[in-house]
Amino acid sequence: MTDNSLMDVYNSIKSNLTQNGFNVSEHSAIDYGIQFNIFISGWTGLLRVYQNKKGAIKVDYSQLKNNDKVFEIQNLLEGKHHVNNLQNMAIPSLGFPIIGTDESGKGDYFGPLVSAGVYVDKNSASKLKSLGIKDSKLLSDSKVLEYSPKILNICKGQFSIIEISPEKYNDLYEQFRKEKKNLNTLLAWGHAKAIEEILNKVQCKIAIADQFADEKFIISKLQEKGKGLTLIQMHKAEQHIAVAAASVLARARFLTKLKKLSDDIGINLPKGASQSVVASAQKIVNERGKETLRQVAKLHFRITSNIKT
């Protein structure tokens, strides 16, 4: 029996390609997926779509046997100019309830790394959409701070926010480097922890997160309650309302803590990793010492090497 999400991906591919002059055959089952032929102007190619045990979808272009056609088809399905690109195809089929996770602070020199998870059912999804909740990167800071308490109220008791302070972040990062692990390990821990905390409150069988690494990074960090969970990772997952809500909660916590850190040391801590960030870091070292910098900044950023001590 073929998984419904595979069928949605197949139907989306078929719709996208036929609108651009291709013909698409009926699909047939293969191990862990489906395959089907694509036709245009005397050319025929075979496309395969796989779904692993955790629900992640992968399109295999290797059987198309024509570089020009591979480029054209891949661009139609995944290209940045295609509105319904492949990475979003599976989103409508996931249904509710679902847990969405996202993080904030990864690209900011100052401030914590925050991961958040939100459990969303049909009712809360409708309320979140009516509010205009979307990816926090598309919202102003003031809107993020305005929306966050509203999300907390709608999803009362069905969310989790995991905060790693800069000091703790630096300790963990150094530990992981010694163990030959990278930042993805730390990100995965945050996502998994948020999921587990939600599963301690409600039952849910599926979660969705942005694609920052192989799904095994998060899956390997899940504890007992998360072992039966199907995890979907895809690019631009923030388009899903559950991930969008999680992104707002994570960013709101990050902004709040960044301001508190600024107030605590009496020096403005800018977002991001710009020249103003370098200037603030230098001021911290000059006025408060290097140890204070460790308490407010993620020291593995290249910025640290530009600070004179």
pLDDT band at 169 (very low <50, low <70, confident <90, very high): very high
DSSP three-state, residue 122: helix
pTM for this predicted structure: 0.72
pLDDT band at 93 (very low <50, low <70, confident <90, very high): low
Q: Find all residues with CB under 8 Å of 172, minimum gap 6, and list them.
A: 164, 186
Q: Which of 188, 129, 123, 133 is nearest to 156 (CA)?
A: 123
Q: Which of 158, 148, 167, 172 is nearest to 256 (CA)?
A: 148
**Locate tokens 């559950």: which residue?**
242
pLDDT band at 277 (very low <50, low <70, confident <90, very high): very high
The neighbour count for residue 96, using CB atoms within 10 Å, is: 16
Packed helices 166-178 and 183-199: angle between N→C axes, nearest 10 degrees = 120
Backbone CA torsion sign across 245, 107, 177, 294: negative
Average pLDDT over residues 236-252: 93
Average pLDDT over residues 236-253: 94
Whether residue 216 contacts residue 71, with contact meaning beta carbons closer than 8 Å, is answered with no
Query: What are the structure tokens assigned to 281, written together?
Result: 């870091």
Average pLDDT, the chain: 87
**Locate tokens 């309830």: which residue?**
97
Whether residue 210 contacts residue 184, with contact meaning beta carbons closer than 8 Å, is answered with no
Alpha-carbon separation of residue 133 from 85, 106, 194, 247, 290 (angstroms): 21, 21, 20, 10, 39
pLDDT band at 241 (very low <50, low <70, confident <90, very high): very high
Alpha-carbon separation of residue 106 from 133, 252, 294 (angstroms): 21, 14, 16
